[in-house]
Structure 1
Amino acid sequence: MAFDVIIIGSGLAGMTAALELAPQRRVALVSKGPLLSGASPRAQGGIAAPLGPRDSVAAHLRDTLDAGAGLCDAQAARAIIDQAGAAIAWLRARGVAFSTEGAGLHLTREGGHGQRRIAHAADATGHAIMTALDAQVRRQPAITVLERHCAVDLLLSGAPGGRCHGVRLLDLERRVCRDLAAAQVVIASGGAGQVYATTTAPAGATGDGIAIAARAGARLQNMAFTQFHPTGLHHPRGAGFLISEAVRGEGGRLCLPDGSRFMPAHDPRAELAPREFLLAHFPAIHAHCLALGLDIATTPIPVAPTAHYTCGGIATDTRGRSSVAGLYAVGEAACTGLHGANRLASNSLLECVVMGRAAARDILASPATRAVAVPLADTAMPGAAPAHATPAAAFAAPLRQSLRAMMTREVGIVRSDASLRRAADHIAGLNRALASRGHADTHPEMLELRNLAGVAELMVRDARACRESRGAHFNQDRPGRAAAPAPGASP
């Protein structure tokens, strides 16, 4: 196996980069699970783009900056929004069938948007996009798909912060490790939603890419900010399912158990014009809820805030370049400055396409270096726990459950100085338990737990540095907003 570029993660950002690189580079596309098991296929709403007759880049940017609560990078946000139309055209050229209205795209509206600007494929946009791109990826001879492989660590020249020249992978089926070398590595591994007990993120969203980049010395940014979606399905058999913001955009109302509305008292934008076409516009949500005994045409949908999107991540420029030479990051694992302290709905898929293409263009702008051939011989999994030790799964499971419950309780939407201190103490104890196990243990359960603990520590550290309440979170001890932006960067 010889590769020019290794892409860790097979969601929309990773697939976009791979397809753009494939004509000129040999690419390894690494997926921890099956190729379509990540967050991108779950995306319901769509892609934000200022395509309407009364819309503009300036208006879309204004809404993005407003949602980001002063922590967006306005220049980066404008650069990404400028490419929105081209991103949708790129997807349509690759067979993505967006919903149409007459001769044009049907545009819907979501929370925080002043215009109808969401291009979508009914209420299953991510599925429509990813199935189309999956077919193209599998037809590309220059793309080698490595499913069921987990990134263990980045390979560096010298100490952390040195040039990245590859990645160590764990083959999850054969339980062997393999080092892959390449001139560039792109982290597109998604977010860290599984650090919370209730989340819309898939089971594999354990912050792996963010954690291995941090261990490699990459600069991180805005780790304090996790977006909690206001309408996760609150049902004992429906955990992790999202009731799209487009439901509210088309007239859905948030009510208390007694049926009374509460949002107008908090925000004048709560009321949006109603439209009655549930089955046509929200078939996937209707079918999922119906399977649980909820007919959304006649029965209120029980919802509650749910951890949804990691706003911070590996700091990059608008070409996807991190602070570590040879290392790029795109998608939810990255922090371009687009989202700030809270992500505007449907800007995430937009960022995936724009930044996936941007990273590929930057890589292609440099001459290809000679790819390094990697032998297929298996390497024994190094550092496995001694035979007498507690099996990895049995050791990791209760610690993981405890960490997620603690993060939900202490580092959720509402926080306090005391809750963040308790969180830091909990994570310190967890790290001591992990150290007693030995950091060379590369069983999958241990890798994920280590990464979750590392990301949780970064989140808490950043949150304790914020001396205010801003964006996605509220600190009871610091309810005001500071005159200057919050720190937002993790050392």
Structure 2
Amino acid sequence: MTTLPPPGQLAGQPLIIGGGLAGVMVALSTTRPCVLACAGRLDDTRPPAAASMLAQGGMAAAVGADDTPTLHAADTLAAGAGLCTAAVVDRVTACAPAAVEQLAGLGVRWDRHADGSLQLGLEAAHGRRRIVHAGEDATGATIMRALVARVRQTPRITVVEQAHAHDLLVHDGAVAGGVLDIGGRTVTLSTPAVVLATGGAGGLFADTTNPAGATGSGLAMAARAGAVLGNMEFVQFHPTALSAGPEGQRLCLVSEAVRGEGAALIDETGERFTSELATRDSVSRAVWRHMMAGHSVYLDARAAVGAAFPRHFPAIYALCMAHGINPVTQPIPVRPAAHYHMGGIMVDHRGRTGVAGLWAAGEVACTGLHGANRLASNSLLEAVAFGTWIGHELDGCTTSCVPVPDIARLPHDLAACPPPAALRRIMSHHAGVIRTGDSLRSGLKQVMPFMGTDVGLVCAAILLAATLRRESRGGHFRSDYPYAMATAAPSRFRLADLQARLADMHDVPVPAIPSMNERHAP
């Protein structure tokens, strides 16, 4: 639905912010009436503009005869480079086979062989074929269409479209409500339970595979509410984004599954220069270094896939053809792009943040599953697992509300706005594939004028965390500290810590960032 009932009628209902896979799974998994707020439209023929719908590779699950959750967990831990939470990894990988069946029960039609068995793909850093697909290389969109249809059939879910969440209200250290812009109208919803499923932060970079709205807004809201942010320095750059189109436009992903089928990374001379199935961070660095040495980089699927490309990868084939590239007969030009943020709002094994009544799921959360580097196709699995668990959590939470201010108009600095092109260039240049301390500190100085905005706050958090981690690990590579330390711990800080650190590092004023409560205090 697009028309919001009187907010008083929704008082006490859990508010789920985000219409991607994690948010939709929360809404479907709770038995309570709830509000699902989506930034775009939510209909069963056009899923929301969330990263979930763009997922090509699929979902990882140990369902093959030669596979086990223990092997899946081992690959996840290895990719995470020492920063995964082992208990979370074990729990998520153990539930993966059941998650495949759960989604099938919700209407997802997995790709299967003629005998009914699941088709299983191979992706980088996986020791077994364990990637399940739906709709070949359109897995995310296929899953979302099925789940959106189920949401539409569930009367207890109030879907609010074109809803941009701007902040959280907190009372005595607990969530008391959310502030949204719905079609230009500011609305305050009173609720003791909010789930942030707002996605990642790839939109803060000049080159990204993420939707334009993936700018870390949920991170900023949570930080202002008192939540802890963790592992913010760990940004995964996908090595094979289609290198076509104007600067600043979202790049189309060329799935790792193409390399899993044998496609080779070559340069303009036709020579291979790296191992295609190494972890994403190492492949991205190899591609970046080759580009910085003056080479062009291509993904060559002509021999490995050839004439079968349109059938195995129809969506990627269509994207390439739209840019005048025929992957059956031509190598595909590629370059690295910001793809996934391993950091986020720190949550426990049930998705709870440190703020009472606030949960986080999906890419906005730092669950401990991904560590320093996400294993390919674990993100859809994480969204299903934590979305389901949080939905069950909501069944037991209170429905009582406290009075919240009736906010008639948002402050100017909280108005929805995309990150300026200058800010995106700063992030790509200073916090990109390969980083240095001097460059990170320079980037921090340049983002300071943006600190009063959501995008500036998140950029500063990423740059600061990267500055403080003087080692290379997973998705974070420092050429001035190219080796990993013997031991490492997750980086964690609250908003006050961020401001204090910035004040210590720079001789320029750090803007105050008041909470929504403080902005509207009587």
TM tier relative to shorter chain: 0.7 to 0.9
Conserved in 2, the CA contact under 8 Å of 1:155 and 1:165? yes
Q: Percent identity?
A: 45
Q: Deviations over 1:51-97 (max 9, x none)?
A: 11111111111111111111111111111111101111111011111
Conserved in 1, the CA contact under 8 Å of 2:16 and 2:195? yes
Q: Show the counterpart of 1:480.
A: 483
Conserved in 1, the CA contact under 8 Å of 2:124 and 2:277? no
Conserved in 1, the CA contact under 8 Å of 2:188 and 2:407? no
Q: 1:373 to 1:148 in 2, by over 3 A?
A: farther
Q: Aligned match of 2:431 in 399, 411, 416?
A: 411
1:347-362 alignment runs, 5 A limit = 347-362=378-393
Q: Aligned match of 2:420 in 400, 404, 426?
A: 400
Offset, 1:120: 0.4
Q: Which moves more between the two structures, 304-313 or 471-480?
A: 471-480
Q: Aligned match of 2:268 in 248, 257, 262?
A: 257
Q: Aligned match of 1:28 in 35, 44, 65?
A: 35
Q: Aligned match of 1:381 in 377, 402, 409?
A: 409
Q: 2:332 aligns to what SS in structure 1? A: coil
Letter in 2 for 1:347: N
Q: Show the counterpart of 2:359.
A: 328
Conserved in 2, the CA contact under 8 Å of 1:183 and 1:369? yes
Letter in 2 for 1:463: A
Offset, 1:220: 1.4
CA distance in 1, matches of 2:278, 2:165: 43
CA distance in 1, matches of 2:346, 2:83: 13
1:66-77 alignment runs, 5 A limit = 66-77=78-89
Q: Show the counterpart of 2:505.
A: none
Conserved in 2, the CA contact under 8 Å of 1:27 and 1:142? yes
Q: Show the counterpart of 2:153.
A: 139
CA distance in 1, matches of 2:407, 2:174: 24
Offset, 1:274: 4.4
Q: 1:262 to 1:139 in 2, by over 3 A?
A: same
Q: Show the counterpart of 2:493.
A: 490
Conserved in 2, the CA contact under 8 Å of 1:49 and 1:118? yes
CA distance in 2, matches of 1:458, 1:218: 13
Q: Show the counterpart of 1:467.
A: 470
Q: Aligned match of 1:234 in 229, 233, 243?
A: 243
1:245 equivalent to 2:245? Answer: no
CA distance in 2, matches of 1:133, 1:379: 33
Q: Show the counterpart of 1:215.
A: 224
Conserved in 2, the CA contact under 8 Å of 1:255 and 1:262? yes
Q: Deviations over 1:399-454 (max 9, x none)?
A: 711111000001111000101100110111333xx5xxxxxxxxxxxxxxx21111
Q: Show the counterpart of 1:420.
A: 440
CA distance in 1, matches of 2:219, 2:193: 17
TM-score by length of 2: 0.83
Q: Which moves more between the two structures, 269-278 or 326-335?
A: 269-278
Q: Which moves more between the two structures, 418-427 or 236-245?
A: 236-245
Q: Show the counterpart of 2:132.
A: 119
CA distance in 2, matches of 1:17, 1:265: 36
Offset, 1:461: 1.4
Aligned CA-pair RMSD: 2.4
CA distance in 2, matches of 1:257, 1:185: 51
Offset, 1:367: 5.4
Q: Which moves more between the two structures, 295-304 or 33-42?
A: 33-42
1:333-344 alignment runs, 5 A limit = 333-344=364-375
Conserved in 2, the CA contact under 8 Å of 1:223 and 1:490? no
TM-score by length of 1: 0.88
Q: Show the counterpart of 1:295.
A: 326
Conserved in 1, the CA contact under 8 Å of 2:450 and 2:457? no
CA distance in 2, matches of 1:291, 1:267: 29
Q: 1:104 to 1:274 in 2, by over 3 A?
A: same
CA distance in 2, matches of 1:18, 1:265: 38
Conserved in 1, the CA contact under 8 Å of 2:175 and 2:193? yes
CA distance in 2, matches of 1:319, 1:274: 42
Q: 1:382 to 1:64 in 2, by over 3 A?
A: closer
CA distance in 1, matches of 2:278, 2:411: 54
Q: 1:429 aligns to what SS in structure 2? A: helix
CA distance in 2, matches of 1:170, 1:490: 28
Q: Deviations over 1:20-70 (max 9, x none)?
A: 11xx31111011122311111111110000111111111111111111111
CA distance in 1, matches of 2:148, 2:195: 18
Gaps of 5+ in 1: 386-391, 435-449
Q: 1:309 aligns to what SS in structure 2? A: strand
Q: Which moves more between the two structures, 24-33 or 240-249?
A: 24-33
Q: Which consecutive aligned stretches of 4+ in structure 1 deviate over 4 angstroms post-superposition?
A: 265-276, 370-375
Q: Deviations over 1:361-417 (max 9, x none)?
A: 1222x2552478999xx96424448xxxxxx89xx67x7111110000011110001
Conserved in 2, the CA contact under 8 Å of 1:193 and 1:309? yes
CA distance in 1, matches of 2:407, 2:348: 36
CA distance in 1, matches of 2:326, 2:351: 43
Q: 1:265 to 1:145 in 2, by over 3 A?
A: closer
Q: Aligned match of 1:42 in 32, 36, 54?
A: 54
CA distance in 2, matches of 1:368, 1:163: 12
Q: 1:348 aligns to what SS in structure 2? A: helix
Letter in 1 for 2:362: G
Conserved in 1, the CA contact under 8 Å of 2:207 and 2:337? yes
Offset, 1:293: 1.0
CA distance in 1, matches of 2:108, 2:410: 43
Offset, 1:11: 0.3
Q: 1:136 to 1:374 in 2, by over 3 A?
A: farther
CA distance in 2, matches of 1:367, 1:484: 38
Q: 2:71 aligns to what SS in structure 1? A: helix
Q: Deviations over 1:340-367 (max 9, x none)?
A: 1111000000000000001111222x25
Offset, 1:312: 0.6
